[in-house]
Amino acid sequence: MQALIVGLGSIGKRHLINLRTILPKAEITIYRHHESAGNDLDLYPQANRCVYSLADAIAIEPEITIIANPASLHVETALKLAQAGSSLLIEKPVSNSIKGVHELISLCASRGLTLMIGYNLRFQQAMQTMRQQVLNGSIGKIQCLLAEIGQYLPDWRPESDYSLGVSAQRRLGGGVILELSHELDYARWLMGEVKSVSAQSKKLSDLQINVEDIANIQLTFNSGALGNIHLNMIQRDSSRSCKLIGTEGTLKWDGILNRVNLYSAKTRAWHLIFDKEGANRNEMYVNELQYFLDCVSTGSKPLTSGEDGLRVLEIALAAHKSARLQKTVVV
């Protein structure tokens, strides 16, 4: 198989290593916009070659492409590769703008190409347990979602200068709302479609960034349920959690400890229903990549499709608009 990886930041490197593990005989090409100080193939021996122009990347006729360059370049790159016949795994978010996203979805559909967006939390076992409990009706009718994530931006990728990264720069699609849009994605997955968005966001820290570093987002779902999502990249300790409040109980997901607890109104007690503390975090990325390859092989529509990526982007952009206008935005 001819495989291409576009961009070699932290997530691109992870995908490179995982792809080589899953497909030891694949021909893997890296497309970078510029050469490293050292020889790229010496630095990344899992790859077969490295190219520095999109034309050279397309010339290898990749069957699959993982797009992990800045969000502002996703659609432009993806359209050209889809036109060349490559199935696509695009890192989240699908873009920082709606422009071209509908065209990309239509192009992939018309060419019979897989288009998947990299919302990897759907492949974490603890989050999958949450989803299954929702489908089973374990806590009755869900009336409220409370989710939060706090992580200090300089600690995300300590080997690199955070101020130069995508997360810190508006022109590249950074900011806490787009960078941590995983929470918007799994909120839809657990609760259904979003009807309206009300948000506040600011840059409060002294970090060297030109984007928002904190956001509070209120969601109204089509079901009538409410959601409250807090995102920040200024918190010195790390936390990630989600609570679902239902008529018959409560579900709690701890994304750091990899646990799910269920409170049952019948027993009036908490029950630990999933616990995989200390599990290898890379497992969900391997599962995600293997799932993408399976979709390419079978032609089945991915769990995190282009349409899902578009919907999450619409919610994220509505949050930006709401914060700017200080009004509720219907999506």
Mark whether 177 and 193 lie in a shared domain.
Answer: yes
Specify whether 52 is located in the same domain as 132. Answer: no
Residues 89 and 29 reside in one and the same domain: yes
111: CATH: 3.40.50.720
**Domain identity same for 113 and 245:** no
> What pLDDT is stored for residue 265 in this prediction?
97
Rounded alpha-carbon distances, angstroms, from residue 264 to 137, 146, 269: 12, 18, 6
| 230, 177 Cβ separation under 8 angstroms | no
Q: Do 181 and 86 share a structural domain?
A: no
Q: Please state the pTM of the whole predicted model.
A: 0.96
Q: What is the pLDDT of residue 278?
A: 85
The answer to whether the beta carbons of residues 250 and 244 sit under 8 Å apart is yes
Q: Kindly state whether residues 237 and 295 are assigned to the same domain.
A: no
The verdict on 296 and 318 lying in the same domain is no
Do residues 116 and 238 share a domain? no
CATH number at residue 233: 3.30.360.10
Domain of 67 in residue numbering reads as 2-120+288-304
Does residue 257 share a domain with residue 127? yes
- pLDDT tens digit at each of 331 positions of the chain: 999 999 998 999 999 999 999 999 999 999 998 776 566 677 788 999 999 999 999 999 999 999 999 999 999 999 999 999 999 999 999 999 999 999 999 999 999 999 999 999 999 999 999 999 999 999 999 999 999 999 999 999 888 899 999 999 999 999 999 999 999 999 999 999 999 999 999 999 999 999 999 999 999 999 999 999 999 999 999 999 999 999 999 999 999 999 999 999 999 999 999 999 888 999 999 999 999 999 999 999 999 999 999 999 999 999 999 999 999 999 9
Q: What is the pLDDT of residue 43?
A: 77
CA-based R_g, the chain, Å: 20
In a shared domain, residues 137 and 102: no
State the pLDDT at residue 38.
Answer: 60
Same domain, 102 and 138: no
Structural domains of the chain, count: 2
Based on the domain organization, do 130 and 93 belong to the same domain? Answer: no
For residues 232 and 297, give the distance between their C-alpha atoms in angstroms, rounded to a whole number.
Answer: 38
Cβ(126)–Cβ(255) under 8 Å?
yes
Cβ neighbours of residue 25 closer than 8 Å, sequence gap 6 or more: 1
Q: Which DSSP letter does residue 305 get?
A: B
